[in-house]
Amino acid sequence: MKKTDVIIVGAGASGLMAAYTLANAGKMVVVLEARGRIGGRIHSVNENFSAPTELGAEFVHGDLPVTLNLLKEAGIGSQHVGFEMWQYQNDAFAQTEEFIDGWDEFLQKLNQLENDMPLHDFLEQNFDGAQYAKMRNQVENYVAGYDTADSRDASAFALRNEWNHENEYAQHRVDGGYGTMVNYLANACRNAGTEIHLTNVVHKVSWKSNAVHVTTTDGKQYEADKIIIALPLGVLQAPESAKGALAFNPPIKEHMKAIHDMGFGSVIKILLEFDEVFWEKEAVGADLSNMGFLFSDETVPTYWTQSPVRSRLLTGWLGGPPAYAQKGTSDEAVLQMAMTSLSNIFQTGQEILQDRLVAWHVANWTAESYTRGSYAYDKVESPQARKVLLQPVDGTLYFTGEYLYDGPAMGTVEAALTSGKNAAEMALKGGS
C-alpha cells in the first residue's frame, strides 16, 4: 500500500484546487473521485449539442478574483454576458428588472432585522396580510429559483447580505465551458506528480493524529498523513448506508452535527436545443432577440439563452423545494414538464415544439448519488457550523467546498476554488 502526504476525496473544483495548491508546494497528493470523470458539479459536454454545453455550473457570477485569475493563468478567455430580463405573466411578455412587488419596502424592513430567523418566518411576521400574499410568494419563489433554497430554513441574514451586494450585470461565461478550467487544474496536478483515481468511491476513513487510512467500496486502500474531504454537502449529509456516503472511524460528532446545520439546495437543469431560435418568432408583441432570462409562473418557471451569443440552446431551471419534489421523476417526464411550460408561455403546440427539438439533456443533480443537490445556502445555524468545519480535526482531517465560503459569492465556483485553496494552505501549515 502506497503512502502519500495528502489524500483528497473528490475531484470537483474545490478538491482539484486543493490538489493544485498542495502539488505546487511539493506535496505528494492522491485524489480519489467516485465518478468516472473530474469536475463534480462542473460538467461541460459536447455530445449531441452543437456547442459546448454546461450541465452544471455555467456563469461566473461577478468579477471574482480567484476564478478570473485562474482563467488568466490558464490562458482561458471569458466573455461578458449581456442580456435583457423578461417576464411572462398574465399572457403577456414584459421586459423588467423588478420581479417582486414591494421589493424596496421588503428590503428596507429586512435591513432593520436585528436577530436572524428563517426567511419564511420573517415574511409571516412582517408581511402577513392578504395584501402581501403575492409579494410573499414572489420572494419565496425567488429564493427557491436563484438560491435553490427552502425559505422555511434559509437564513434571513444571509439572504440580506446577498441581496445587498449582488451585481447581476457582472456576469461572464468561460470560453469552451468551465470544463476547460478543471482540465487545466487536473493536468497541472498530474504534471506535478499528483495521482487522480476515478471510479474510486471512498466509503470509510479511519484516522488518528497525522495518520489516515482510506477504504473504497471495492476494497482499495490508501494511506496518508492528512486527508481533505472535498465532497458536496449533500453527500456528507447522507446516511452512512447511502451510496457514496462516508463513515469516519473514530466518529467526528461535532463536525457531523455542523454539516447538518448547513443548508443544501435542490435543482434540475434542462438543456434544450431546437432547430431554430423559435422564441424570437413566437413571442407575440415582444422582441426577445436580446433576451437573457425569462421568468414565468409555469411548472418549470425559469429559462435562459446564451445571449449575447445567438444560439438555439434554451436552458430550463427548476430549483428549491419544487425541484426536490421531482427528484425521483424520470428525465423524460421532466422534459415534458419543460416542453409543456414552453408551450404555455409561447402559445405554441407542444407537438410543434417537440418536432423542433434536436437535442436535450436533463441534469437532475438532486437525484445523483455523488451530488445529492445543487449548492449550499445558509440556515440560521450555519455561521457557527462553518466555524466548526473550518477547523481541522486534530490537524489531520480537513473539509473544503463551496459551503465553507463565507461571503456574497456563496454557492459558486469561486466559493469552491477559494475554499479548496484555503484548506490546502491550512494543511500545509499543519493545523489551524
Residue 167 confidence (pLDDT): 62
Q: Measured on CA atoms in the order 138, 144, 150, 156, is the torsion positive or negative? A: negative
Q: Which residues contact 118 (CB under 8 A, 6 or more apart)?
A: 151, 152, 153, 154, 155, 156, 379, 380
- Judge whether 18 and 210 are in contact, CB under 8 Å: no
Please name the residues in contact with 204: beta carbons below 8 A apart, sequence gap of 6 or more: 214, 215, 246, 247, 248, 249
- Write phi, then psi, for 151 (nearest 5 degrees): -65, -15
The per-residue pLDDT for 432 is: 44
**pLDDT > 70: what percent of the chain?**
98
* pLDDT computed for residue 354 by the predictor: 96
Tell me the per-residue pLDDT of 286-322, one tens digit each, with 9 for 90 and over.
889 899 999 999 999 999 999 999 899 999 999 999 9
Answer yes or no: is pLDDT of 164 > 90: no
State mean pLDDT over 221-230.
Answer: 98
Q: Lowest-pLDDT range, 18-22, 57-61, 286-290, 407-411?
A: 407-411
98: left (phi over 0), alpha (psi -120 to 50) or beta: beta
**What is the residue-averaged pLDDT of the chain?**
94
pLDDT (average), residues 394-412: 90
Q: What is the pLDDT of residue 285?
A: 78
Site of grid cell 490558464 = 74
- pLDDT tier for residue 24 given thresholds of 50, 70 and 90: very high
Q: What is the CA radius of gyration of the chain?
A: 22
Contact 246, 204 (CB under 8 A): yes
Higher-scoring residue by pLDDT: 129, 381: 381
Q: How does pLDDT run across 38-92, given as a tens digit for each residue?
A: 999 999 998 889 999 999 999 998 888 999 999 999 999 999 887 889 999 888 9
Cβ atoms < 10 Å from Cβ of 216 = 18
Average pLDDT of the residues in 180-196: 97
Average pLDDT of 372-380? 97
What does the pLDDT read at residue 1?
A: 67
Spatial separation of the C-alpha atoms in residues 96 and 293, rounded to whole Å: 11
Q: What is the pLDDT of residues 92-133, one digit of tens each?
A: 999 977 778 889 999 999 999 999 999 999 999 999 989 999
* CA-to-CA separations, 274 to 242, 261, 269, 328, 355, in angstroms, rounded: 38, 42, 16, 26, 9
Q: Is the pLDDT confidence value at 284 over 90? A: no
DSSP 379: B
Please give the domain boundaries of the chain with CATH numbers for all domains: 3-61+66-77+175-261+380-429 (3.50.50.60), 83-168+266-374 (3.90.660.10)
Q: Other CB atoms closer than 10 Å to residue 364's CB: what's the count?
A: 21
Whether the CB-CB separation of 265 and 153 falls below 8 Å is answered with: no
- The pTM score is 0.95
- Say which residue, 182 or 409, is predicted with more confidence: 182
